[in-house]
Structure 1
Amino acid sequence: MKHKTLVLSAAVGLLAPVMAGCGDSGDGSDSGSAIVVGTTDHFTATKPNPAPFDPAFAYDTGSWNVLRQTLQTLTHVPRGGGVPVPEAASHCAFSNGNLTYSCTLRAGLKFANGDTLTAADVKYSLQRVLSIHDLNGAVGLLTNIADMDTSGRDIVFHLKSPDATFPYKLATPIAGIVNPKQYAPKKLRDGFEVDGSGPYTFKAEVKDNTLVKGTFTKNPTYKGDLKVQNNKVEMRVYPDAPAMGTALDKDDIDVMLRSMTPDQIKSLTDKPRKDINLTEMPGLEIRYIGFNTSAPIGKEKAIRQAMAYVVDRDKLINQVYGTTASPLYSNIPAGITGHTNSFFNQYGAQPSLSKAAQVLQSAGIHTPVKLTMNYTTDHYGAATAKEFQVLQSQFNDSKLFDVTIKGTPWKEFRPAETSGKYAVYGMGWFPDFPDPDSYVAPFFDKDNFLGSPYNNPQIRGQLIPKSRREADRGAASDTFGQIQDIVADDVPILPLWQGKQYVAARTDITGVEWAVDSSANYSLWELGKGTTTD
């Protein structure tokens, strides 16, 4: 899997402050007080979303970032990227043509409450996810497991088909190890409690079923591969990016995590501050329009193709995101091995209203096509509403479409999307792991993240399994190229743009360049407090 090192080491080369602050001479050690981070990720427990932090249910970037700090996994992707290395395990290896994956646990592992952690607990944790089989979660990452055997500190996974990406899947929170005493075998753990054997314990402060603050405290029983640089991190939730920015200005927080607005980023770039460093990193975040291919509007391939001809990515980015994003012409972004510009090749960089009209006319579809584009108001940042206003104007100005837009809070949007209530909707995606498979299977395989009815037999039955047989992931590039060409022709999703990652932090905070990666995964254990000098 040599491309992992190539892609991510190149990314790490860009993990540098956009501007120099006063400079710090700290060693990353915690001065004793909590490091306070701000986020605009919202966590609410509702009837359709009862268990925001249960690994069998959680499947969004914010929730996974809580779980990454608290639940231990057998493997993890090391600082700077590359192939997964043991974490709760001391050793892991493939055998039997990538059909068998065996791990040995570290000696002396314990849960934070002092209970011994065994290989049987690992099996229980993964079997629990498979048994609950909640499609709101990431169960699809584990459905290739045929059976698991345990003996002492050893666990052996028998796979249904060869899967070179399996070590990456074991590094995600869906494979987090839980204590059977605290997590029922076939029932979600409702609410905001999280217990595991990871680097931190977690305490939630909740108001009206919504998390307002989470405190991560160093777990004294933790044994693993991670080096914890602080004793405590406090995460405060803000309603929006401006409120989070005000908190930074008032010295209420030390770090601004996701998501900052394009205007905030531009301000900190154009007018550097001596007390704040802005760190920029390549991003693997993508945004796209999704289609319910069973809905009356979404099932019409000609409509989907016509929208691909009409959309103007350059104008969208210039009007909304500026230098923080770049046009995306594939479901697999630039920076991931196997990326091709399939949508560019089929539809071009500039809109073609004549070709869009021809596609609709040939299919006997009368214009303007009336449809509603749904988007979430509070999950992907403050600029989302403006983004959909611009997209609405683009489609309506073509005279081929009559588009209405509707914004909905994430707690309502996500259940409606997965249940098929939206024909056309806007979504974002951060990869589960930095591999092209993570931009294919979650959208087009069985039990996919979108709950999409789209099923291309060639992609699902032939190309995805073929790509997973390649231990050298670069060797799967041609297969992923075929997948991207099929997606560009069928348009089950319409990719729009790819974004960078930004973090603003006070100059006495160390480890920021390691604390957030290009996939927006947090490693809060990397943060420390140093001293500053002018």
Structure 2
Amino acid sequence: MNRKTLVMPAVAGLLAPLLAACGASEESRAIVVGTTDQFTATEDAPAPLDPAFAYDTGAWNILRQTVQTLLHVPRGGGEPVPEAARSCGFTDKVSESYRCTLRSGLTFADGTPVTAEDVKYSVERVLKIKSDNGTAALLSNIDTVETKGDEVVFHLKTPDATFPYKLSTPVAGILSKDKYAADKLRDGFEVDGSGPYTMKAEHDGEKATRFVFTKNPRYKGDITLRNERVELRTFGDAGTMGAALESKDIDMMARSLSQEQIKDLTETSRDDIHVTEVPGLEIRYLGFNTKDPSVQEKAVRQAMAAVIDRGALVDRVYGPTAEPLYSLIPTSITGHATPFFDVYGEPDTARAAKLLKDAGVPTPVKLTLHYTTDHYGAETAQEFEAIKNQLVATELFDVTVKGAEWSRFRTAQKRGDYAVYGLGWFPDYPDPDNYIAPFLDRDNFLNTPYVNKVVRDQLIPRSRRQADRNAATAVYGQIQKIVAQDVPVLPLWQGKQYVASRADVTGVEYALNTSSDLLLWELGRGTA
């Protein structure tokens, strides 16, 4: 027994360096995440990763890893908490003045100190550039920014209880004036910040193919990193991404799994690959250029609302991964209601025909529905074919469907080239304001010509005065009734989120939040 006691530690001592080396190798091996998001720098949109321009989920998922914000939404959701800031809060009772104090010792990844002046510079830069992508609208309520030492004070034009959420988004990312010009977007795929990772991008021509995130040793903030290195690889479709997971080329895939993949993974128990459902707040909708002759008459849009069968659409294309939506505000968000069902009820061709006849609109109405081929998943083409078939079946519409890559689609949509187009929305923050303002407020994401002054000048400002967001429910009810009557947008469905990962990857349940933000720092390896 004594001999065993003496020998075993000796053997353990011999094995220890080998085991430690194996462990170090495993931990240092990058966790590889797949995505079908596409990242393209084109002549029309040369700066996809500049915080003053970026306004899609894919780009924000790059920026959240690299560019620090004053606040962030914590792992489990809820109200924003300090990140680059040590403390933040309103200094008045009407939510018009907001002060943040920076953490001490903050630096950019290159070692340059982060100051309150950098925060001021970054915010004012977004407002000065005011890109046509709608990004600046999140900060447009800022009147002036004041700095004193390590303090930043934001003076707002009107009260806004949602302002802390807006400061937690990448549009409010803290940038260095040495790397980002005050009046010009930064082209290409480079990003510099003070966030938890530094990033290097690989690209093939105008398309980025891989992003390598490495732990930033100078990072100081509220985030705890559970890995040293993560790679994000882009795939043209979910099928190719799934094959990469099967072959162990990637460790996780998040955006976006196909319905068939989700069905296979959830119905078949496997030891090597796990599928995780996480709460989702994505919505899909049709948008309208209300100045285009084909849909300028409100009755045309109302007739579409009266005949599109959301339930049949979801069943045919998305199955259990989505549910019909009759409001811009999804379920589980304060202010959710069903105004489109309340106004139009079940699909009714006779009612649609009367709407068109009463308005003097000749039938069939010729429409072209536009969608993006490479941004929301393979089912998008099927979805628009199904919508076309529903409209054509009424004999009230003559419909053509056209698809385009996201880089061309988004540019054309903002320009007003499309009368009817399909888009998805992943919330910037989980508040009803973010399902209303981006579509209806000034400088909105859609660049829509539709204007309702009651909504813009009275109801949206009134909703933001409510620090208790439940108290704003009645106002959002009024807004949604107006949307259902005017139909500047037509909500279709709300989606669920799924993540597939290899069994040795940990933290998967936290790596994708309700806003579809990738929190890559949550990922690790092991069995914990």
TM-score of the pair, normalised by structure 1: 0.93
Matched, 1:425 2:451: no
Match of 2:399, as an amino acid? V
Q: Is the 8 A contact 1:103 1:156 kept in 2?
A: yes
Q: Is the 8 A contact 1:56 1:137 kept in 2?
A: no
Partner of residue 359 from structure 2, selected from 357, 363, 367: 363
Matched, 1:108 2:105: yes
Correspondence for 1:79: 75
Partner of residue 53 from structure 1, selected from 49, 52, 56: 49
Higher helix share: 2
Q: Is the 8 A contact 1:73 1:175 kept in 2?
A: yes
Match of 2:167, as an amino acid? L
Mapping 1:295-306, distance limit 5 Å: 295-306=292-303
- For residues 199-245 of structure 1, what are the alpha-carbon distances to aligned partners after superposition, in whole Å with 9 as ceiling and x for unaligned? 00000001112101100000000000000000000111111100000
SS in 2 for 1:214: strand
Distance between the aligned counterparts of 1:479 and 1:444, measured in 2?
A: 14
Residue 272 (structure 1) shift: 2.1
Partner of residue 279 from structure 1, selected from 273, 276, 280: 276
Distance between the aligned counterparts of 1:275 and 1:58, measured in 2?
A: 36
Matched, 1:517 2:504: no
Distance between the aligned counterparts of 1:181 and 1:139, measured in 2?
A: 21
Mapping 1:475-486, distance limit 5 Å: 475-486=471-482
Correspondence for 1:221: 218
Distance between the aligned counterparts of 2:124 and 2:237, measured in 1?
A: 38
Match of 2:110, as an amino acid? N
Correspondence for 1:250: 247
Residue 358 (structure 1) shift: 0.4
Mapping 1:97-176, distance limit 5 Å: 97-176=94-173
Correspondence for 2:436: 440
Match of 2:462, as an amino acid? K
Match of 1:365, as an amino acid? V
Q: Is the 8 A contact 1:30 1:230 kept in 2?
A: no
Residue 271 (structure 1) shift: 1.3
Percent identity reads 61
Match of 1:523, as an amino acid? L
Q: Structure 1: any 5+ residue segments left out of the alignment? A: 1-26
The ranges of structure 1 where at least 4 consecutive aligned residues each deviate by more than 3 angstroms after the TM superposition are none
Correspondence for 1:89: 85
Match of 1:340, as an amino acid? A
Correspondence for 1:383: 379
Matched, 1:457 2:453: yes
SS in 2 for 1:114: coil
- For residues 160-210 of structure 1, what are the alpha-carbon distances to aligned partners after superposition, in whole Å with 9 as ceiling and x for unaligned? 000000000000000000111000000110000000000000000011121
SS in 1 for 2:366: strand
Match of 2:226, as an amino acid? Q
Matched, 1:501 2:497: yes
Correspondence for 1:307: 304
Q: Is the 8 A contact 1:30 1:231 kept in 2?
A: no
Q: Structure 2: any 5+ residue segments left out of the alignment? A: 1-22
- For residues 494-531 of structure 1, what are the alpha-carbon distances to aligned partners after superposition, in whole Å with 9 as ceiling and x for unaligned? 11000000000011100011110121111100000014
Match of 1:379, as an amino acid? H
Match of 1:502, as an amino acid? Y
Q: Is the 8 A contact 1:50 1:191 kept in 2?
A: yes
SS in 2 for 1:380: coil
Distance between the aligned counterparts of 1:141 and 1:220, measured in 2?
A: 31
Instruction: Pick 1 or 2: higher relative contact order, CA cutoff 8 A, min separation 6.
Output: 1
Residue 137 (structure 1) shift: 4.2
Indicate the structure (1 or 2) with the bigger Cα radius of gyration. 2
Distance between the aligned counterparts of 1:171 and 1:297, measured in 2?
A: 40
Change (3 A) 1:270 1:232: same
Correspondence for 1:318: 315
- For residues 362-394 of structure 1, what are the alpha-carbon distances to aligned partners after superposition, in whole Å with 9 as ceiling and x for unaligned? 000111101100000000111000000000000
- For residues 322-372 of structure 1, what are the alpha-carbon distances to aligned partners after superposition, in whole Å with 9 as ceiling and x for unaligned? 000000000111110110100010111x21001000000000011110110
- For residues 273-321 of structure 1, what are the alpha-carbon distances to aligned partners after superposition, in whole Å with 9 as ceiling and x for unaligned? 2111101022100000100011112211000000001100111111100
Q: Is the 8 A contact 1:68 1:173 kept in 2?
A: yes
Correspondence for 1:24: none
Distance between the aligned counterparts of 2:72 and 2:294, measured in 1?
A: 42
Distance between the aligned counterparts of 2:207 and 2:115, measured in 1?
A: 34
Over aligned residue pairs, what C-alpha RMSD do you find? 1.1
TM-score of the pair, normalised by structure 2: 0.94
Distance between the aligned counterparts of 1:280 and 1:82, measured in 2?
A: 19
Q: Is the 8 A contact 1:57 1:136 kept in 2?
A: yes
Residue 438 (structure 1) shift: 0.2
Mapping 1:31-70, distance limit 5 Å: 31-70=27-66
Match of 2:407, as an amino acid? K
Correspondence for 2:335: 338
Distance between the aligned counterparts of 1:94 and 1:299, measured in 2?
A: 43
Partner of residue 289 from structure 1, selected from 283, 286, 311: 286
Distance between the aligned counterparts of 1:51 and 1:190, measured in 2?
A: 4
Q: Is the 8 A contact 1:500 1:518 kept in 2?
A: no
Residue 30 (structure 1) shift: 7.2
SS in 1 for 2:118: helix
Distance between the aligned counterparts of 2:40 and 2:190, measured in 1?
A: 13
Match of 2:452, as an amino acid? N
Distance between the aligned counterparts of 2:299 and 2:199, measured in 1?
A: 49
Equivalent residues, number: 504
